[in-house]
Each structure stands twice: as C-alpha cells, then as structure tokens.
Amino acid sequence: MTKVVISGTGLFKPSQTITNAELVESFNAYVELQNAKFADQIAAGEREPLAPSSVEFIERASGIKQRYVMDKSGVLDPHRMFPRLAPRADDELSLMAEIAVHASRQAMEQAGKQGKDIDGVICAASNMQRGYPAMAVEIQQALGAGGYGFDMNVACSSATFGIEQAVNAIRAGTARCVLVINPEITSGHQEWRDRDCHFIFGDACTAVIVERADTATSNDQWEVLGTKLATQFSNAIRNNFGYMNRCEDTDPNARDKTFRQEGRKVFKEVVPMAAAHIEAHLKDLSLQPVDVRRFWLHQANLSMNQLVIKKLVGGEVTPDIAPLILDEFANTSSAGSVIAFHVHHGDLNRGALGVICSFGAGYSIGSVVVRKL
Ligand code: COA
C-alpha cells in the first residue's frame, strides 16, 4: 500500500479576540434590553425573562477562556449580536477563501510545496459561504494549484473526514499531494443571543498537506497508519439554515436557523462513542490506547476530553497526553483537533504514535492514527 504522510500544517487565527468577561458583559446588556422591551409581557406572566450569563459558569462548564473572531464589534453590540462582515464583489477573493489561503500557504511552506505540486484541494468545513461555485475551486485558483477542488461538510468532523478522502485519493493513485483546509467562521452561525451556547464557538482556519511519502521533503513528517470514520444520526446538534428556507416561507432569522444543541445529551452520548471508536481503530491496527503518546482531540469541552482519555488509558489526564487549545480558541468546529496537532506536536520524537480525533454533529466521529517519521 502507498505510504502516505502529513508533511505540513497551517493555522490562521483572526486578529480579534473576545474574552469571557467582554462576552458576558455584552450578553447581559442584551438581556437587560430584551427584558425591558418585553417588561409588560413578563409582568403579565406571558413571557419568561431572559437570565444573565456568567464568566464562572462558562469556565467551569467548558474550559473556554476566550475566542478569536473575524469581527468583534458586531458580536458585542447588544443591539446586533452577530458579526458585521463587509460584502465582497464576485471578482474579489471571498472571506472564507482568504483565511483558507493564509492557512494553506503556511502548510505548503512547511511541507516545501508550491501550488503546482498540489493536485487536489478539499475544503472541509461546517458551513460554506455560498451555494456555489465550490469554495475549494476558488482556493485552488488563488493558490495556483492544479487538479481539482471540492467542498465537503461533516460539521465538527469535517477535517478528519477530509483527511481520509485525501489519503484514499493518494492510495488509489488519483492524486499525489492533497491540501485539506478547514475554514471555520463559526461566528456566522453561532447563536450569540442564547445563554446556553453563546460562549461556545470561535473562528479559525487550519490546513493540512497530505502526500505520498516518496514525494515528501519536509523535515516534519507523520505517516498516516490509518483512518476510521463513523456516523450515527442525531438531532442533538442541529442547524436548519439552508437553501429551502425561502421555499418553506420560514423566517430566515428564526432560532432554528443558527446553531443549537442539547449540550448535556451530546456530552453523555458522544464521550462513550468517541472512546470506543478510538479503541476499535487502534485495535484494527494491532495497537492499544497505552501505546499512544498523544491524543489531539476535538476541542468542545475540557471535561469531555478528559473523560474520553480516562476511558482509554485511565490515570491522570495531563495536557501532555491530550493537549488543550480550547481555552484560547473555544470550539472552532472541525479546525479544533488540527489546531491541537499543529500547536502541540513539535516536541515529540521519531516513532511517537498519535491520534487525531474529531467528534460532533451527525453524530460523526473521525480518527487519524499517525506515527512520527
Ligand atoms: N451562564 C450561567 N448559567 C448558565 C449558562 C450561562 N451562560 N448557561 C446555562 N446555565 C445554567 C443552566 O440554566 C442550568 O441551570 P439549572 O441547573 O438551574 O437548570 C445550569 O447552568 C447547567 O446547564 P447545562 O446546559 O446543563 O450545563 P452543562 O454543564 O451541560 O454545560 C455545555 C453546558 C454546553 C458547556 C456542555 O454541556 C457541553 O460542552 N456539552 C458538549 C457539547 C459538545 O461537544 N458539542 C459539540 C458542538 S460542535
């Protein structure tokens, strides 16, 4: 079988951050405005008042301390509560493609690749900026890449699912070098007005170069030993935004047209699924969880990741075994596990075994087992 490696990764992080204190201050200002607006209905018992958020709750329940966003002013404006992004003309590079190009150039530089060396571009993310043409084709052109480009969406698992498509294309001989990019402008579909989830997401973009080992020149190569994907339908994380909304005569700003979840349910159901998935994948490769030097897990919740690792290897869960980037980035959907890998793999020695694993809406779980060459 063709030996395939990850030979470069890249990360774009927006220049603006929102701390929990800033987020809670604006959310609570929004709550006061809403409660004042509906004061009569609330007094008549016809409507529940909105409850305030708190920094303590956010940090205790999730481990998140701040997030990067493309536009802070719109999100923090209590009269708006979502980003303010300037529209671009058709002949300008779109915003999603722009951040993808930033992350991709970094990954290409690390892997020692130029546009002409890439013959497949996969844009794998939770949301695409438009219906068509595919974002990947625009990114392909901006990078001067050859071959083909296509978009795919498996929500938070988009990156690992994209990596498997890249590995399979290389093994099948239809591509030699594939760029997998995860531009996640989550602030666009986040519900900043909902106390249960207003703190969850942040924006970022990651890029990964996957190529044949015999073409790789990078001094930082990770052999892909295997990939494993699984899905099981669930409504616990859902967003009904879509191109049929107009035909259904539904309100495009209704609550169900942005991110919503049953957080507790997700937590309870996904932890055992993720642990069992990783264990089964390692077993397929005649490996065991204790053989793994580092797990780069999906970044949605600190305790969730600790529980997954405890189930797998027991003992104390240290950042050395399962590094956390969630405190700085919040949940960046599919980019999260790749950010963890990008930031926290440089200290590992030749032969080290690692698992990149994402989990999220679908439900979907994807794992990539790698070994440092
Ligand atoms: N500030 C203060 N209190 C809040 C709050 C906020 N922003 N949001 C909720 N609360 C309150 C709730 O009203 C509830 O109060 P009650 O006990 O009086 O009813 C209490 O805090 C607990 O709420 P709950 O939603 O059960 O919290 P939780 O401990 O489950 O944490 C999440 C919430 C979302 C952080 C957590 O469930 C989670 O991360 N789940 C996994 C999500 C996931 O992986 N999603 C994938 C997305 S891609």
Number of domains in the chain: 1
Phi, psi (degrees; rounded to nearest 5) at 29: -65, -40
- State the average pLDDT over residues 201-223: 97
In a domain, 323, yes or no: yes
pLDDT computed for residue 160 by the predictor: 98
CATH code of residue 232: 3.40.47.10
Query: Are the beta carbons of 126 and 333 closer than 8 angstroms?
Result: yes
How, if at all, do strands 222-231 and 364-372 pair? antiparallel
Ligand 1 center to residue 58 CA distance, Å? 8
Which residue type does 13 have?
Answer: K
In a domain, 299, yes or no: yes
Handedness of CA 197, 192, 158, 352 (dihedral sign): negative
Q: Which atom of ligand 1 is nearest to the CA of 303?
A: 39
How, if at all, do strands 204-212 and 222-231 pair? unpaired
Task: Find the Cα–Cα–Cα–Cα dihedral 17, 18, 19, 22, rounded to 10°.
Answer: 140
Q: What are the pLDDT digits (tens) for 135-149? A: 999 999 999 999 999
Ligand 1 center to residue 254 CA distance, Å? 21
Query: Are the beta carbons of 282 and 292 closer than 8 angstroms?
Result: yes
- State the average pLDDT over residues 120-146: 97
CA distance 298 to 329: 12
In a domain, 57, yes or no: no
Among this protein's residues, is 197 annotated catalytic? Answer: no
For residue 220, give the 3-state DSSP assignment.
Answer: coil
Ligand 1 center to residue 259 CA distance, Å? 14
- State the average pLDDT over residues 115-124: 97
In a domain, 318, yes or no: yes
Question: Pocket of ligand 1, candidates 64, 234, 267: which has the most ligand atoms within 8 Å of its Cβ, to mutate?
Answer: 267
In a domain, 44, yes or no: no
Give the residues surrounding ligand 1 with Cβ less than 6 Å away. Answer: 53-54, 57-58, 61-62, 156, 195-196, 237, 261, 263-264, 266-267, 300-301, 304, 331, 360-361
Provide, rounded to the nearest whole percent, the portion of the chain with pLDDT above 90.
Answer: 98
Residue nearest to atom 11 of ligand 1 (CA): 196
In a domain, 145, yes or no: no
Which residue type does 267 have?
Answer: F
CA distance 205 to 125: 9
Residue nearest to atom 13 of ligand 1 (CA): 196
Question: Pocket of ligand 1, candidates 26, 56, 57, 239: which has the most ligand atoms within 8 Å of its Cβ, to mutate?
Answer: 57
Q: Is the peptide bond before 30 cis (omega within 30 degrees of 0)?
A: no
For residue 154, give the 3-state DSSP assignment.
Answer: coil
Q: What are the pLDDT digits (tens) for 276-311? A: 999 999 999 999 999 999 999 999 999 999 999 999
Question: Pocket of ligand 1, candidates 48, 234, 264: which has the most ligand atoms within 8 Å of its Cβ, to mutate?
Answer: 264
Ligand 1 center to residue 196 CA distance, Å? 6
In a domain, 234, yes or no: yes
Q: What are the pLDDT digits (tens) for 150-195? A: 999 999 999 999 999 999 999 999 999 999 999 999 999 999 999 9
Q: Which candidate, 230, 220, 205, places its Cα nearest to that of 370?
A: 220
pLDDT computed for residue 79 by the predictor: 98
pLDDT computed for residue 146 by the predictor: 93
Ligand 1 center to residue 289 CA distance, Å? 30
Ligand 1 center to residue 264 CA distance, Å? 7
Q: What are the pLDDT digits (tens) for 48-103? A: 999 999 999 999 999 999 999 999 999 999 999 999 999 999 999 999 999 999 99
Phi, psi (degrees; rounded to nearest 5) at 149: -145, 145
Query: Are the beta carbons of 170 and 210 closer than 8 angstroms?
Result: yes
Q: What are the pLDDT digits (tens) for 5-45? A: 999 999 999 999 999 999 999 999 999 999 999 999 999 99
Identify the residue whose tokens are 């932890």.
Answer: 271
pLDDT at 316 over 90: no
CA distance 219 to 185: 31
pLDDT at 223 over 90: yes
Residue nearest to atom 42 of ligand 1 (CA): 263
Residue nearest to atom 34 of ligand 1 (CA): 263
- State the average pLDDT over residues 344-362: 97
CA distance 69 to 32: 24
Residue nearest to atom 23 of ligand 1 (CA): 196
In a domain, 305, yes or no: yes
* Residue-number span of the structural domain to which 237 is assigned: 222-372
pLDDT at 108 over 90: yes
pLDDT at 315 over 90: no
Separation of CA 115 from chain center: 25
| The two structure tokens encoding residue 141 | 């052109």
